[in-house]
Amino acid sequence: MIEKNISLKPYNTFGLDAEAKLLARVSDVIDLQAVLADSKLINEERFVLGGGSNILLTKDVDALVIKNEISGIQLVEETDDSYIVRSGAGVVWHQLVMHCIENGYAGIENLSLIPGNVGAAPMQNIGAYGVELKDVFHSLEAVEITTGNVQTFSASDCEFGYRESVFKRKLKGQFIISSVSLLLTKEAKLNTSYGAIEEELERLKIQSPSTKDVSQAVINIRQSKLPDPKVLGNSGSFFKNPVVPTSKFEELRSMFPNIPGYPAGESTKLAAGWLIEQCGWKGKVVGNAGSHAKQALVLVNYGNATGVEIFNLSEQIMCSVYDTFGVQLEREVNVY
Ligand code: FAD
Ligand code: NAP
């Protein structure tokens, strides 16, 4: 069934009140192919929606919104030391993480509590606490919008990068991801050196952590630092951490000795949150929008902000970071 003039407010974590001209919920690939082939809808622009946790809606969506609700998690292969687990694109990402932890499939515990659905995870190669989707990725299936054909993509086909993939670049708007398969291990190779994980494990008095313990530590840290979108609308980190030539980092460090920098291949990754905070934005409220008091990188809707207000705030932040540091921030959130 195609719904008309639907408010997208419950479907985006910024809580922005944009309206979709048309909305179709699809629960399997056949359903999706039927919607794509429907002659009455053929001239409509298409807009794919997952959990709405990485979008900024600056206007009504004059398009057919395809809400991906393809469910199901299956173990498709088991070897002596690994598992391949396939998940429908409409599964909530954190539910997949919990399912894996409960069944002893290791490798995604650091990605606990990232909002959104499985189908969007490859879009920006989601990452947190030193682990990215690409580290556990096996393959995905996606439906081509123009033909309805199903194609399989390997990791190299996806061209994953830092919060990047081929689906945000060369193939933008061309495919709808229908399932994602992960390669997980039987033996856990825990990564606890990132951020405050070790500190949190110590606080919990855990000396030999399991995947479940690491997941719980990540959940605790995230809940203590990040605004809950149900309470305060947001889309997580609004900007990517900029990666600059190391010579630029050294130049900046001579002027700002405390500037954090992390090796990223030959280059250096800066912490966008630190740059924004130094420019005085942390906790600042402008109209109905602002930068969060605990993490400057997260822009928030304090109640009745419009997408344009949040977009304009992001412009101001980008200008002041550029003026102060000569560094161009790039938005991570998908702006419509
Ligand atoms: P949506 O917002 O619905 O869509 C995002 C983009 O993907 C859109 O362009 C959409 O058209 C496209 N898309 C969605 N589904 C599909 C599909 N099936 N096929 C093709 N295109 C599709 N991200 C991180 O990487 N790491 C984090 O630690 C993290 N923490 C966050 C914390 C908070 C509090 C919030 C609100 C967000 C955070 N995010 C993080 C961002 C966000 O959760 C992820 O980017 C997530 O993968 C988005 O999923 P979604 O289903 O909500 O995507
Ligand atoms: P944090 O621990 O305060 O660290 C600040 C920044 O420094 C992070 O962005 C992180 O980069 C970088 N960093 C910290 N330790 C690092 C290390 N050992 N090696 C390389 N880089 C390091 O960050 P936070 O805000 O609390 O977030 C914690 C994790 O959750 C981060 O990985 C972050 O990306 C992720 N997160 C993402 C979003 C999102 O929407 N994308 C939202 C919330 C949290 P990276 O971001 O590259 O990891």
Q: Could you tell me how many residues make up the chain?
A: 336
Q: How far is the CA of 251 from the centre of ligand 1 (A)?
A: 34
- DSSP strands (E only) in 69-122: 73-78, 82-88
pLDDT at position 254, please?
98
> What does the pLDDT read at residue 206?
97
Alpha-carbon distances of 213 from 183, 186, 187, 262, 305, rounded to whole Å:
21, 16, 15, 26, 38
> 162: which residues sit within 8 A by CB, 6+ positions away?
125, 127, 240, 241, 243, 264, 269
Residue 14, burial from CB neighbour count under 10 angstroms (0-12, 13-18, 19+): buried
Handedness of CA 285, 231, 73, 56 (dihedral sign): negative
Which residue CA neighbors atom 46 of ligand 1 most closely? 116
- The minimum-distance atom of ligand 2 relative to the CA of 238 is 40
Rounded Cα gap, residues 309 and 273, in angstroms: 20
What is the average per-residue pLDDT within 271-285? Answer: 98
User: By CB neighbour count within 10 A (0-12 exposed, 13-18 middle, 19+ buried), where does 313 fall?
Assistant: buried
Task: Give the separation between CA 295 and CA 333, rounded to whole angstroms.
Answer: 16
**Residue range 101-128, pLDDT digits in tens:** 999 999 999 999 999 999 999 999 999 9
Half-sphere exposure of residue 24: CA atoms within 13 angstroms, side-chain side: 23
Domains 2-68 and 73-185 share a fold: no
Q: Where are the alpha helices (DSSP H) in the chain?
A: 29-37, 93-103, 155-158, 197-203, 211-225, 246-255, 272-278, 307-325
Best of 112, 114, 169 for a ligand 1 pocket test (most atoms within 8 Å of beta carbon)? 114
Quick one: average pLDDT of 279-289?
97
Q: What is the pLDDT of residue 111?
A: 98
d(CA 270, CA 314): 18
What is the per-residue pLDDT across 202-219, written as a single tens digit (0 to 9) for each? 999 999 999 999 999 999
Q: For residue 163, indicate whether it is catalytic.
A: yes
Q: CA–CA distance from 333 to each of 54, 213, 236, 329 (Å)?
A: 5, 30, 8, 12
Task: Name the architecture of domain 2-68.
Answer: 2-Layer Sandwich (3.30)
Q: How confident is the model at residue 1 (pLDDT cuts 50, 70, 90)?
A: confident
- pLDDT of 269 over the 90 cut: yes
Ligand 1 atom, smallest distance to 227 CA: 34
Fold for the domain defined by 73-185: 3.30.465
Ligand 2 binding site (Cβ under 6 Å of any ligand atom): 127-129, 194-195, 225-226, 236-237, 241, 262, 271, 273, 295, 332
Please, are residues 195 and 221 in contact by the beta-carbon 8 Å criterion?
A: yes
- Residue 203: count other Cβ atoms within 10 Å of its Cβ: 11
DSSP for 230-252, written as a single string:
TTSEEEEESBPPPEEEHHHHHHH
Residue 267: the pLDDT is: 97
pTM of the model: 0.97
pLDDT digit string, tens, across residues 288-327: 999 999 999 999 999 999 999 999 999 999 999 999 999 9
User: What pLDDT score was predicted for residue 36?
Assistant: 98
| Residues contacting residue 228 through CB under 8 Å, at least 6 positions apart | none
Q: What is the mean pLDDT of residues 14-38?
A: 98
Active site residue 237: yes
pLDDT band at 334 (very low <50, low <70, confident <90, very high): very high
Q: What percent of the chain has pLDDT over 70?
A: 100
Catalytic residue among 178, 181, 215, 237: 237
> Domain 233-335: which CATH class?
alpha beta
pLDDT for residue 21:
98
Per-residue pLDDT, averaged over 13-20, amounts to 98
Q: Domain coordinates of the chain in residue numbers?
A: 2-68, 73-185, 233-335
Q: Is the pLDDT of residue 152 over 90?
A: yes
Do 26 and 35 meet the contact criterion of CB atoms below 8 Å apart? yes
With a CB cutoff of 8 Å and minimum separation 6, the contacts of 199 are none
Q: Candidates 53, 57, 108, 235: which one to mutate for ligand 1, based on the most atoms within 8 Å of Cβ?
A: 53
Whether the per-residue pLDDT at 166 is higher than 90: the answer is: yes
**What's the CA gap between 55 and 8, in Å, rounded?**
11
Q: Report the SS3 class of residue 119.
A: helix
Side chain identity at residue 314, one-letter code: S
